[in-house]
Amino acid sequence: MSTGKQLTAGFRLQDTVEMPEFQATGTWWQHEATGCEVFHLHCDDPENMFAFGFPTVPADSTGVAHILEHTVLCGSRRYPLKDPFLRMLQSSVNTFLNAFTFPDKTVYPAASTVEKDLFNLMSVYGDAVFFPLLDPAMFRQEGHRLVYDLDGALGISGVVYNEMLGAFSSQESVEMRLCLNGLFPDTAYGHESGGDPDSIPHLNYQEFVEFHRTHYHPRNARVFLYGNIPAERYLEFLQEEFLQHFESGSAPNPIGSQPRWSEPRRIVQRVPGQGDPEATASVTLNWLLFPAVDAERVMAFEVLSEILLGTPGSPLQKRLLESGLGEDLSSPSGYESEIFETTFSVGLRGTSARRVEEIEAFVLHSIAEIIQQGFDPDLVEGTLRRFEFRTRELGSGGNVGLHLMRRAYQGWMHGATPWETLEFSRVFAALRQRIAQEPGYLGTLLQEYLLDNPHRLTVAVVPDPAREQEDADRRRQYLAELEAGHGPDDRERILREEEDLRRFQEQPDPPEAVAALPRLELDDVPREIRVIPQEVLQLRDGVSCCTTAIDSRGIVYLNIALEVGDLDGEAELLLPFLSATMTGLGVPGIPYDQMSHRIGLVFGGFRSDIEVTDHAETQQPHAILWLRTKFLAQYADEALDLIDQVLCRADFSDTARLREMLVEQRNDYRSSIIHNGSGFAGLRADAGLSQIELKEERLKGITQYLYLDALLQQPIEAVRAGLERLHDTVVRRCRTELQLTCDPGLVGDLTSRIPRQLGGLWAREYSTLPDIVLARDFREPALPAVGRPEALVTSTTVNFIAMALPGSLVFQPEFAAQTLISHLLSTSYLWERCRMQGGAYGASASLNGLSGIFRFVTYRDPQTTASLQAFLEAFSGLETDGLDPELIETAVIALVGKELRPLSPGAQGLIAYRRRKFGITDELRQENRDRLLGLTPGQVTEQLQSLGEALQQAVVSMVSSQDALQQLPADTQDPAAQLLRLAAENQIRIISG
């Protein structure tokens, strides 16, 4: 190929670049007639991906780019369906399919290992972005519209509107937004790109359409392509399907640079929240640094940020945690490089806004001290090694293209070449060399960009219970004024539009439009299951080691599983905290920060967690405390030695550190309740039906959060004693199993070394169960049960609703049909009822074949009874909608496709281990695959009816606002309302702050 001369499908080749680190060749093309840019990374990876990306710089906070992202996926010229995206989710075997709005760009990526599938997806996505219908009704559905509620009161609804209400009711996300918006007051980053609920209603339809016309023209498009399909095939496709219909256009203005300040600034803002304002505020310092296209400095700051904050022993994190000025690091803390000019943030949560000045002074003083003292060489070296490790691992898992796309867009969206920010190895080597030659280099960066930089903003957010009410009052006031200006025509128009929308939503897609959608056939997907190799080796003294020997690029994945399913009472409740301490403490003679530096030098990953499940057939419960590690084979000696020390010599005597970790753990739970309300409510509902899910709820749910809170009231010395006893019980050879994944050539050597080098663990034999009583007054909340739903009331403006009922177990013949039903509900019925009609951000159904529980959930849901009603009607509704063989076939293809996702070697090894441990044999899996492939409408209908009968035993739990409970209708006969009325009267538990 010669640059710039010949045209390929109307594209001129701009440049070619070899990228040996990805074993890829990059070609950069521009479409001559329209200006559309394409970058293609050609390599061996069969997981191909494409992304349509557009710089979408907002001019206000109406969320226009975000609403557009939702709405282009609601029907296009060739695919005039209500929701082609959903149809593709139903039937494609994609390994990735989503859309994202960033503060300055919108991206539509998809990936698949099946070429035909990838081009199907590209046809649908390309048509969506270039030729969307942008129906006014869809703008109202996804954006905003006026509605009357049952009592006749005027309100606002819309998917994005509700999504952003949810985002604005979380202290963390408000804080993140303020930090970004506040640092760039004179550029587009000063606006809320997702949409501020107070601004969204001001967006009108004409402006919305205009934004699409100017921002989604091919002139403004950057198409990223990755994988083993040659570029020419894509270029011809793009030309034929889309670009030949366009003429040249002009690109909108790029985002500008933020004028620098001469003085630091400060913002103090009250946000909705239940916590004590003197103890749960958050204070963060933010700096504006340099442009993101400056790849070398960006990488230097990525490394610096990791050194300062990345591990428990990091100098800035350690100083802040020990300062007593707050509880732990604030959420925005870290380095942000996915915007035009990069930023660095650091601060504390669990503090008081009165301490703003103190915290500022402390942070600045700490940075000065760190510069003066210089960095621990082990810490720097460990951090650099972790960066190298991540790059080596990158090529081995799935979604490589997606990761590279994000890196490429960092610069490409802002005028750089696509590879300027994509390259890693060369830039990293230069940085490594520089650090070696100029020992003060990192310190100089800190001095210049943090200490001497006046463009600094301190953001303090203070929770205030009154704020939620004020927000609600202000919105009511706005609606009241709006209504006062309305004539009778307006009311009629609103009702009519709502009726039109409802009719539109309920009307089925025209069959010819559905038939026009490209799709796979059953023959395009494999009938055989994918088998992961695994061998169980018996090491000395009967410890088994489940080994998956596959090419893993010299990386060793070694996981230590400690069986803890037999523990109960407080011993069980204390396990998650024990797990957290395992990777955060020192050993005698080595304090935790030094230990953390050592771990950093050797491991690419080192973490612990707890997994709960049961055996498919015996139903015997398992709880596993995992220590999961990965390291390069050349460091095996040091790695095994450190693992043994961490396991056997953990030093619990640093009680100040223990307390820090306990507070952090509790705070992480607290902030995750609003983000993951569906998960917490789901666990509660499941626990009402199953002993094993009860275990999981105690270890990972609301009960665990409450327990951590109770533990914090206890003397830390007592907690320490409890942990020591528990640790002594749990870390025992007889409880141990190993899971090892590595290159085949390494297995023999490693398995012979392990018993010797983990000598401490091997020497620890049986011990009796401990009797631990720490939080004597702690009362576990009673579980929801059949006919006794519960509501967990917290500070949120949207709800998370979960309903669990008995379903099939994985070894039962019904499993295939019920799995299919959960997929159909998630991608059709619930989507339509709860998302399109109800305005919830998400809704889904799932079947857990190990505990035999079928679960419904909604996510960021403005409704309560309407969603429960949808759950209760889902099975019969699906039956009424009709189950034609084609619908079943597309769902079967999508379900089989889930197994086509590439997995990293580490993930493969763990999955193989779990399958063996939990009794899921390959024979059983193939049997279920065969059943799935052979499903008939009759079998599915039978299971719909059987699940319908199981609704009698449904258990309901929800995370919701107080408001949602008060607004429940009092005098209706429908069962959902009755369930909830019970909740409102008897079962409310208030989770404060």
Q: How far apart, in whole angstroms, are the C-alpha atoms of residue 124 and residue 92?
A: 11
Residue whose CB is less far from Zn ion, 762 or 800: 800
Residue whose CB is less far from Zn ion, 166 or 272: 166
Provide CB contacts within 8 A for 485, sequence distance 6+. Answer: none
DSSP, collapsed to helix, strand or coil, labels residue 346 as: strand
Residue whose CB is less far from Zn ion, 289 or 843: 843
Pair type for strands 105-112 and 100-101: antiparallel
Q: How far apart, in whole angstroms, are the C-alpha atoms of residue 394 and residue 553?
A: 10
One symbol per residue from 116 to 155: x for binding Zn ion (CB under 5 A), - otherwise; what is it? ----------------------------------------
Contact 22, 43 (CB under 8 A): yes
3-state secondary structure 661-683: HHHHHHHHHHHHHHHCHHHHHHH
DSSP, collapsed to helix, strand or coil, labels residue 462 as: strand
The single-letter code of the amino acid at 725 is R
CB atoms within 10 A of CB 60: 17
DSSP, collapsed to helix, strand or coil, labels residue 530 as: coil
Residue whose CB is less far from Zn ion, 143 or 182: 143
Tabulate helix, strand, coil % of the chain (nearest 5). 50, 20, 30
Residue whose CB is less far from Zn ion, 67 or 750: 67
Shortest Å, Cβ 102 to Zn ion: 12
Tell me the β-bridge partners of 343.
288, 336
One symbol per residue from 925 to 964: x for binding Zn ion (CB under 5 A), - otherwise; what is it? ----------------------------------------
Shortest Å, Cβ 961 to Zn ion: 20
Shortest Å, Cβ 66 to Zn ion: 6
CA separation (Å) from 785 to 621, 781, 782, 820, 859? 21, 12, 9, 27, 21
Shortest Å, Cβ 489 to Zn ion: 32
Residue whose CB is less far from Zn ion, 102 or 577: 102
Exposure letters 381-398 (e unless 16+ CB within 10 A, then b): bbbbbbbbbeebbbebbb
The single-letter code of the amino acid at 770 is P
Site for Zn ion in 781-810 (CB under 5 A): none
What is the DSSP track for 369-397?
Answer: HHHHH---HHHHHHHHHHHHHHHHHHTTS
Q: What is the enclosing helix (H) or strand (E) of 461?
A: strand 456-464
Residue whose CB is less far from Zn ion, 163 or 175: 163
CB atoms within 10 A of CB 156: 20
Q: Which of 270, 331, 272, 349 is nearest to 794 (CA)?
A: 272
Stretch that binds Zn ion, among 158-166, 427-435, 537-545, 948-956 (CB under 5 A): 158-166
Residue whose CB is less far from Zn ion, 163 or 686: 163
Site for Zn ion in 520-549 (CB under 5 A): none
Q: For the chain, first and last CA: distance in Å?
A: 63
Residue indicated by tokens 């024979």: 923
Residue indicated by tokens 């933020």: 258
Shortest Å, Cβ 871 to Zn ion: 23
Q: How many CA atoms lie within 13 A of 266 on its CB side?
A: 10
Contact 335, 302 (CB under 8 A): yes
Site for Zn ion in 41-100 (CB under 5 A): none
Contact 344, 301 (CB under 8 A): yes
Provide CB contacts within 8 A for 771, sequence distance 6+. Answer: 569, 571
Residue indicated by tokens 């001019």: 59
Contact 937, 885 (CB under 8 A): yes
Q: How far apart, in whole angstroms, are the C-alpha atoms of residue 149 and residue 635?
A: 64
Site for Zn ion in 178-197 (CB under 5 A): none
Shortest Å, Cβ 161 to Zn ion: 10
Residue whose CB is less far from Zn ion, 582 or 798: 798
Stretch that binds Zn ion, among 160-168, 410-418, 436-444, 490-498 (CB under 5 A): 160-168
Q: How far apart, in whole angstroms, are the C-alpha atoms of residue 887 and residue 929?
A: 17
Kindly state the number of chain residues that form the binding site for Zn ion, as judged by CB under 5 A: 1
Residue indicated by tokens 């521009």: 30
Shortest Å, Cβ 70 to Zn ion: 6
Pair type for strands 842-848 and 988-990: unpaired
Stretch that binds Zn ion, among 159-167, 195-203, 508-516, 876-884 (CB under 5 A): 159-167
Q: What is the Cα 945 distance to its own chain's centre?
A: 34
Residue whose CB is less far from Zn ion, 163 or 423: 163
Residue whose CB is less far from Zn ion, 45 or 163: 163
Chain residue at closest Cβ approach to Zn ion: 163
Stretch that binds Zn ion, among 163-171, 572-580, 761-769, 791-799 (CB under 5 A): 163-171
Shortest Å, Cβ 897 to Zn ion: 24
Pair type for strands 265-272 and 222-227: unpaired
Q: How far apart, in whole angstroms, are the C-alpha atoms of residue 64 and residue 67?
A: 5
Shortest Å, Cβ 160 to Zn ion: 6
Contact 296, 411 (CB under 8 A): no
Site for Zn ion in 288-347 (CB under 5 A): none
CB atoms within 10 A of CB 536: 11
Shortest Å, Cβ 80 to Zn ion: 23
Residue whose CB is less far from Zn ion, 596 or 827: 827
Shortest Å, Cβ 162 to Zn ion: 10
Stretch that binds Zn ion, among 161-169, 377-385, 440-448, 956-964 (CB under 5 A): 161-169
Shortest Å, Cβ 606 to Zn ion: 35
Residue whose CB is less far from Zn ion, 125 or 419: 125
- Residue 178 gets the label, from left (phi > 0), alpha (psi -120 to 50) or beta, of alpha
Shortest Å, Cβ 142 to Zn ion: 9
Residue whose CB is less far from Zn ion, 168 or 875: 168
Shortest Å, Cβ 128 to Zn ion: 15
Residue whose CB is less far from Zn ion, 125 or 375: 125
Site for Zn ion in 230-249 (CB under 5 A): none
Stretch that binds Zn ion, among 75-83, 156-164, 373-381, 651-659 (CB under 5 A): 156-164
Shortest Å, Cβ 513 to Zn ion: 25
Residue whose CB is less far from Zn ion, 163 or 341: 163
Shortest Å, Cβ 195 to Zn ion: 9
Residue whose CB is less far from Zn ion, 158 or 382: 158
Shortest Å, Cβ 969 to Zn ion: 29
Interface residue list for Zn ion (CB under 5 A) = 163
